[in-house]
Structure formats: structure tokens, C-alpha cells
Structure 1
Amino acid sequence: MTETPAAIVIDTDPGVDDAMAILYALADPEIELLGLTTVFGNVPEPVATRNALQLALLAGAPALPVAAGAARPRLQPPRPFATDVHGADGLGTAVLPPLPPGRLPDPRPAARFLAETCAARPGEVTIVAVGPLTNLAAALDVHPAIARQARGVIVMGGALRQKGNVTPFAEANIHQDPHAAAAVFAAPWAVTLVGLDVTERVILTAADLAPMVARSPRCGALLAEAAEFYFAFHKASEGLDGCHLHDPTAVIAALRPELFRTAVAPVEVTVRGPEAGRTREAPEAAARPLTLCLGVDAPAVRARFLEILHAGRLP
């Protein structure tokens, strides 16, 4: 265990695997979760914000700041929400507890929350972005100092050496707002791309969640019910008995970079046309270099995720 927990903000569009990532971060003693910022993507932004607030409440963190963010892409028309993957409200058929009166989002918009959180602890805060990158691009627009004040950015997004998951070319988060992704990748901060090249290698099954249901009944039951819908989608679309552990893998990458095989190279983002959202390694002079996760110790990442969720630290 690290001596000092890693300070993290998760930018999210919950989403079943987002919920997995949020609950993991709240349970991991090596993480100091400073807040959640929400964005459209898997669901509309108001639903994402409500889900984030409810997940924090369910997990026994009712005071965790949740700042609402972008409701649409920067330039392109909005894409369809991922209701076929995550359900109409983002968490399959699971029903979250109602919010108590007065439990509202942080009054700051997400871009300001990100900037002020990083400015308050310069060089300490890692932003883990597991949705479209619109909030991060907005923060760069209004608060450009965030690029030198953040410790770094972990992006769950992209598909470098394999096909996408929403088109043959594009991964969902980048596809939702490729202009934002291009702005984030061009900014002078340390970006690590945790894309489908590694996240599709880490598989979770329904049986994996059973011990969590026993040891953290409230959160475990919610996650197991939400995951049923997610598992059914993967079975129907890929014949997979389980699901890809996309967003939790990105959170784990922030703490366990040694579990990933990486390369350093610039990345180009296609922003329009039939290949919109495509990410590919670019010539050296074309863009700023990013850290690219190209391989993963999938059993170790899965084991870390299950170790934390099975420990019984959540209610």
C-alpha cells in the first residue's frame, strides 16, 4: 500500500462500468477520491449527475462533491446515448435510493471544479476521465493553468491497434466528442490513454460479484443487479459470458502503472467524417506525445478490482 493515498477526481457518465469504477475508488484505501464530475455520454448529463449523487450516497459518502458538467459535445451534433448497453437510466434495471432533500450537486460547473481542485493541490491531483472529454476541454479553455497544476490525466478511451466498439474505427468516449479529445490530447499535461487495447482484455463475470453481495450487501446488490443488463448486452453482442472492465481498469492504471505495457507516442484524433473518433499513433511532429497502454496484466488488474470490492469496506 502506498504511504499517501492518490488524490483523484473521476470525470464520469454513469454507466454500469462507471458505477463499478466509482465504487472501487470509494473502497480502495490507496485512493483519496476528491469528487466526481459528470458529463453526457452513456446517459444524458442530468441522469449522470443523479446517478453519481445516488452512488455516493449508497456507498456511504453522502458529502462527496459531485459537479455537473457538459450536456452536449463541443462542436458536433449529439450522438445517441448508450441505452442498449447500460439501460435507460444508465444502471440497467437497478433502482437507486432517492436523494434526501438538500442533496444537490456542487454549485460549481465541472470545468471550474476540476480547475479549482487541481489548483488547491498543485501536482497532486490525477483526473481519471471515463466519459467523453468535454469537461476537460472546457477546463482547458477557461482555466488553462490546469494543464500544469494537474498531476496527470488518465483517459479511458481510444482504440489504437484494434477496432472500435461503436464503429469499426472509434471507441465510444472519443466518438461522443472527438473535438474535445483532440484538445485534451494537445494540451501540455501528462495524458495516459487506457483504451480498448487493454480494457477489453480484462473480463468480469457474474460469479465475480457474488462475494461482494455477501460482504457489502447494499452496494453489492445494486452492482449485481445493474450488471445483469450489462452482461446481457455483452452476451448478445459478443457472445461473452461477462463484461469488459473498461472504467475500473483506468482507475487501477492510475495506481498500478506497472501492470501495463506502455509506449510513448503522439496520437491523432479524426474529428469528422465516417471515421470520426478514430485514434491512431501519429508521426512524431504531428502532436504531443501521450503514454499509450498497449498491453496489460489482465489477471492482476482483475484480481486487484475484486480484492478491493470483496474486502467489505462498502456498506
Structure 2
Amino acid sequence: MPKHIWLDADPGHDDAMAILLALHLSEIKLLGISTTHGNTSSHCTALNAARCLHAFGADRQIRVYPGASKPLILPVKYDAEIHGEDGLGGVEGLLPQDDPSLLDWFAKDSEGATIRALEGMATSIRTTWNKGAGSKVHVVATGPMTNIALFVSAYPDLLHAVEEFVFMGGGVGVGNRSPAAGGVRSVYRS
């Protein structure tokens, strides 16, 4: 039985690979992707997630849910010299960010408005728990954990439906700025 995964990411080069793996590993069922500020602006990370879904032949049911545009406390900071202005600098073969078909990958409500990260995470986790006879979701965070902090604060009643939070932790305020950057895998299990 595959693990139900919710991916919270800031798609630059590293998270593009995480999306590729999440889509094509048989032991993973990717539920959705929430995006956050980080390697570039939240606008660009959301579009990058859609670009990756398109390029990697994702199931059309998987959607992007844009999330936090800035940290809760610290000022916004991007490192364009590392990931390029759009977060995927130097990558060839992707749809351009202004391609209107990318918007088809964004989750929409019945009125056509984009569903945001917190609502998407909560709905998916609740649905997976209720539909799957108690199936828990593994939340994987590969970018700044702003969406996760907001989710835990806004939906403490859903934490029972999360098997674990797995995150790549890096240095606060220093970013991906050295050959040793990349973070540490940490896990919180409920």
C-alpha cells in the first residue's frame, strides 16, 4: 500500500527533483503540492510546481495549492544567484512561466477561485483519513515551513490524521549558501 504524501515545497532545482520522485515512485501516492516562498517568490514557486507537474507527466488530479508568500517573522530573502530569478534558472524544456495552461494545474473551487495551501492541505488530509478507513498522511516539507506552522496552528484537530511530518531543515537566515547546505532530515511522528 503506497504512503499518502502531501508535499509542501518551494520549487527550485532540488524540489523539482522531489516532485519527480513523488510522482513516479510506486510506494508514494502524491495527494497535492502546496507551495511557499523560499528559493524564489511564492508566485514563481507555485508556477514552478505546475511546470514540473506538466513536464513530468503527472496525473491530472494532482493540483498545486499556493501558500505563504513570506516568513511569519523574518523578512523575505531570495538567493537568485543560486536558483535564478524564477527558481529554476538554467533548466531547459519546461513551459515558460507565462504559459496560460499552467493555471490548469492550480486547484480551483466551484467559483473558479484558486484554493490556497491551508485549505488544500486540510481538505486532503481530512478526506484521506475519512475515505481510507483511517489512512494517515505523511507531510513532507522541503522548503520554509511557514505553511506547516500555519496548518498546525489552524487545524490542530487534524493532527491525528498526520502520520508524520518529514522536513528538510537548513540554517535559519543563511539559506542554501554553501557546499554543505541542503539540510538535515527530521521527522515528527504523531
Q: TM-score, normalised by structure 1?
A: 0.50
Match of 2:145 among 117, 120, 133: 133
Distance in 2 (CA, whole Å) between partners of 1:102 and 1:53 is 8
Residue number in structure 1 paired with 2:122 = 115
Kept after mapping to 2: 8 A contact 1:43/1:90: yes
Distance in 2 (CA, whole Å) between partners of 1:101 and 1:145 is 33
Residue number in structure 1 paired with 2:35 = 38
Kept after mapping to 1: 8 A contact 2:51/2:102: no
Could you tell me which amino acid in structure 1 is paired with residue 67 of structure 2? G
Seen in structure 2, the aligned counterparts of structure 1 residues 39 and 137 have a Cα distance that, compared at 3 Å, is: same
Is the helix fraction higher in 1 or 2? 1
Shift of 1:109: 1.1
Shift of 1:142: 2.1
Residue number in structure 1 paired with 2:106 = 105
Residue number in structure 2 paired with 1:270 = none
Shift of 1:152: 1.2
Match of 1:49 among 46, 51, 70: 46
Shift of 1:166: 5.8
Q: TM-score, normalised by structure 2?
A: 0.79
Unaligned segments of structure 2, at least 5 residues = 108-113, 130-134
Seen in structure 2, the aligned counterparts of structure 1 residues 29 and 62 have a Cα distance that, compared at 3 Å, is: closer
Describe the superposition over 1:240-298 as per-residue Cα deviations: whole angstroms up to 9, x where unpaired. Answer: xxx97x48x95xx98xxxxxxxxxxxxxxxxxxxxxxxxxxxxxxxxxxx57xxxxxxx
Could you tell me which amino acid in structure 2 is paired with residue 129 of structure 1? A
Match of 2:65 among 64, 67, 81: 67
Seen in structure 2, the aligned counterparts of structure 1 residues 13 and 111 have a Cα distance that, compared at 3 Å, is: same
Larger Rg belongs to: 1
Distance in 2 (CA, whole Å) between partners of 1:120 and 1:165 is 34
**RCO comparison, higher one (Cα < 8 Å, 6+):** 2
Please state whether the residue corresponding to 2:49 is helix, strand or coil. helix
Deviation beyond 3 Å, 4+ runs, structure 1: 164-167
Distance in 2 (CA, whole Å) between partners of 1:94 and 1:76 is 29
Kept after mapping to 2: 8 A contact 1:54/1:99: no
Distance in 2 (CA, whole Å) between partners of 1:68 and 1:155 is 18
Residue number in structure 1 paired with 2:25 = 28
CA RMSD of aligned residues (A): 2.7
